[in-house]
Structure 1
Amino acid sequence: MRFAPPGTGTPITKGYSPKSLMHLQAEQVSFHYDDDGEPVLKDVSFELRGGECVALAGPSGSGKSTLAQLLNGLLSPTRGRLLAEGRPYPKDAAGLRDLRRRVGLVFQFPEAQIFEATVHDEVAFAARRQGVSEAEVPGRVEAALAAVGLDPEAFRPRNPLKLSGGEDRLITLASLLVVDPDWLILDEPTLGLDGAHTARVREMIRARQARGRGVVLITHDLELTLELCPRILALRRGELAWDGSPRELLVRPDLESAFGLAAPLTVVLWQRLAGAFPEAPPDDPTRLEAWVEAQDRDRRKKIPGVLQQFAAGGRLIR
């Protein structure tokens, strides 16, 4: 099992607590919703180190959302145990409330987490619940909204139930950032977002890593996984089928048959370019543009137009 070091970046938010490296651990965790039913998760074990960005992948029904709720303390294992900083997860209400502050979860459908009349009150609710002083709340709300790329002045008075799907996803994320959790579990965080807001979410994830805050990224966007996460956990029929490098997993020829995953377009193009130029193939699927830029004119002419445009980030190289 390999662990990634904390990432780099410049913090977006200010005034929060110092760097924290909260470790989480699953030991032989199994779970089923019905005592007589098939387990959703089977003997899953791993460790998450503070500051990591870890992708959680797998086909539908593999147990990703269930595992996310277990990590957040919304569910308890049927068998096995979860630990935070080496101690078993609490079972009392106060302990679970503190755990959920430190391990925040944004569901795939964020409207289920929104209930206040204004964006300000929605984001401020979590801060007030955690005992943040009223004098500090406005600054926390402003910083959290700015961290997800929303203009605080424009959004604070708006009704969060009347926002677009992408905007309410960002509001839910800001509601967690306002208390600066040690871990964020994000279920499809860029779904419905435009390019600018997607870039802001990427920036936020990198900045959190730099401050020792971890992210578990549940996404079908394996391009995003390649870009942000040095480590991926892949579930298959409730079992942990892979724990390691996304790059090593996504180039496997049995990716679909063994893991139920489809290679992202970047990897497909990388494989095709490597086959077309065996004497000097691109060595990294995340750096195709740089590889194309480094080729001489004669070699570029051999690259099919579609591949050429994609590898150069949409710019036609002449």
Structure 2
Amino acid sequence: MSFQTDFQQLRNYLSEHIIGQAHLVERLLITLLADGHLLVEGAPGLAKTKAIKDLSNKLEADFQRIQFTPDLLPADITGTEIFRPEDGSFSFQKGPIFHNMVLADEINRAPAKVQSALLEAMAERQISVGNQTWPLPQLFLVMATQNPIEQEGTYPLPEAQLDRFLMHVKIDYPDETAEKSILKLARAENTTEQSGTTQIEKITQGSIFAARKAVNEIYMADSVENYIVQIIMASRKPERYGEDLARWIDFGASPRGTIALDRCARAHAWLKGNDFTSPDDVQSVVREVLRHRLLISFEAEAAGMTVDKVIDTILERVPVS
């Protein structure tokens, strides 16, 4: 299918320009295909901003970066009513949220009111100002970032907002080989010559929507659907799979997690060029889908368990249908 070829070329292009972060590139494309939003956690300087900016440059889409700070106001995101003295009327001036691709940089540095304004935009694809509601573009993706190093002066994201993110991706520093390639790429980008890189045409919004339709229609057997459901059930009723799991998990994933796991598994399979979804596709994306949707107990943390380890335990104990 030509759409698959276009997106595979896009992934190759991004991998050449965002070196050492192939996992982030793939998850960003899955988020785009599954029509969701992405939360990325990583130290500064790991190409998070570059990833979504380079993606926007190769799509028929506009890009906006919003730097979240403690003094940010909801109107700084949504926009506000402007008074026009010439005729004594008010007109709405749209804020930076009215773009196709939005980077919410260091989202946890903004207070609750700002996060609630972003929550409505992410969940409802609209924003409300006064007694009016304004729809957002049909192509709308928020990539939010968090810095795991500095937590002083931050506002933890509420569970309701975390659940709106399709996936939560954690990224780390590149290895030695990738670091050397980054040096060469940085030098090349400072010159007019960038030989050896792939040049591709922009993907239109119509092609993106058609690709999303193809992803939604990809075949998934009943056994794979049952596998997804049983993974979610294991997070809600962990006592079925061991007393230790029951002690480790306080709250499981919501139905939104089931839907996200289905969409991401389909998108993962489609990106590989397959025309069906397998349990391997589910296992490949389950950590990013459930990482921010499970709440583990203090007992689990005291035992050295992390959310990822709990998810791995669920995968070990839930049989593949």
For normalisation by structure 2, the TM-score amounts to 0.32
For normalisation by structure 1, the TM-score amounts to 0.32
